[in-house]
Chain A
């Protein structure tokens, strides 16, 4: 259930959306606050429908909320060396 590869911007987006609380987000997307805490901490990877609901709650595309980082796929430097 733990996902280190799946990064998310939920915390940042909550604060950008009028300092939305975890409970308010949980109520909007129809899950418990514990699930939001686990997703935010990267301990739980949400299902695709839930991920879409979270993105819609912030009115942003899915990629703005969740980013998938493949193992060994490190960001490269401008000269092409990683």
Chain B
């Protein structure tokens, strides 16, 4: 497994954990169940553990002279960046239009939802970036 694939795998795992973490925050606020209050913290700790483990995961190389990237990695990365860029545009459009549809022109919504929505958007974009990389490597072997 080369560095690009390892990176995509690490990004995917961390993105999923952070996505669950950010989605459990509103749940913890809405429902006052003690277990739900701990959930965001659990997923945040898990994502930090995943970040730590990914450093060890990155260290091992198949061969000392193996390059970190080659031409195929660059093509795969370019396609993944394009996919995440398109996703970003779609998410920004949805993020701007959905609150209007839900709350109407003069509606109100908690200001704390904005950073959560932005964070979720960022994590989804990262997830979309990692998935095409893993799919393309999977197809090539």
A: residues with CB less than 8 A from B are: 1-2, 23, 26-27, 30-35, 37-38, 41, 43-44, 46-47, 50
Contacts and interface: CB of A to CB of B under 8 A. Distances in A.
7 contacts: A23-B62, A27-B65, A30-B67, A31-B67, A32-B70, A37-B141, A38-B141
A27 B141 contact: no
B72 interface: yes
A35 B66 contact: no
Nearest to B62: A33
Contacts of A2: 139
Given A41-B141, A44-B140, A35 B63 contact: no
B2 A38 contact: no
B104 interface: no
A4 to B, nearest CB: 14
Contact of B70 (A23, A30, A37, A43): A30
B121 to A, nearest CB: 29
A34 B139 CA distance: 11
